[in-house]
Amino acid sequence: MGALDFGFFNWEIFSNFVLKGLLFSIQLTIIATLGGVFFGTLLALMRLSGRKVLVVPATIYVNGMRSVPLVMVILWFFLLVPLIIGRPVGAEYSAIITFIAFEAAYFSEIMRAGIQSIPRGQVYAGQALGMSYGQNMRLVVLPQAFRNMLPVLLTQTIILFQDTSLVYAIGAYDLLKGFSTAGKIYGRPEETYILAAVFYFVICYTLSWLVKRLQNRIAIIR
């Protein structure tokens, strides 16, 4: 193995190979976060409803998803769903659906903790004003829960961005795939994998620093 040489990497390589993967990783992160928070909130409300018909399936789903590695869920969906529906599912679509389904389980636990952190007096006050359960949740509880859990939700989103590299296993063109492709074409796989690690580190460290500042600001407001 020769000495490492990063001089070959330039803007042309970045724009032709890496940028496409970066955009997909960002797109996947945003869509999975929005979908995960939406379905995660529904799962959290189901688990807190007190109705067995809602609590049991939601609990089984959340605990089941949290007990299986994400890469296994990605592979199961990508390989098994085409056998069931009789036609292939694209790697990118498989990644989006899988991430939403998987992240919903984690976001549901965050939202459940956020909802439970709201003092019961807030709920009783809403009931005293004649609000229904749905109105109480929508207007009183959930807005406060989202604010309380915002730093944790954003931290989970950063972890989600890191996990997007797992779609490499099914051939989706993400950030890691972009670096890998450039490395194969230019015969510099070692350098491109190191650059990919640096790229992930810079993005995630910067986002973590911003979340920390947001957390401090929220603490001051309280």
pLDDT in tens, 203-217: 999 999 999 988 888
Our count of domains for the chain comes to: 1
**pTM of the shown model:** 0.89
State the chain's mean pLDDT as an integer: 90
Q: What pLDDT was estimated at residue 142?
A: 86
Q: What is the CATH number of the domain that holds 25?
A: 1.10.3720.10
For residue 18, the enclosing domain spans 11-221
Report the amino acid identity of residue 20. Answer: K
| Joined tokens for residue 154 | 């954003």
**Is a pLDDT exceeding 70 seen at residue 58?**
yes
Q: Note whether residue 5 is domain-resident.
A: no
Tell whether the torsion through CA atoms of 32, 210, 111 and 169 is positive or negative: positive
Q: Note whether residue 106 is domain-resident.
A: yes
The CA angle 103-106-110, to the nearest 5 degrees, is 130
Q: Note whether residue 41 is domain-resident.
A: yes
Question: CB under 8 Å to 126, separation ≥6 — which residues?
Answer: 135, 136, 139, 140, 141
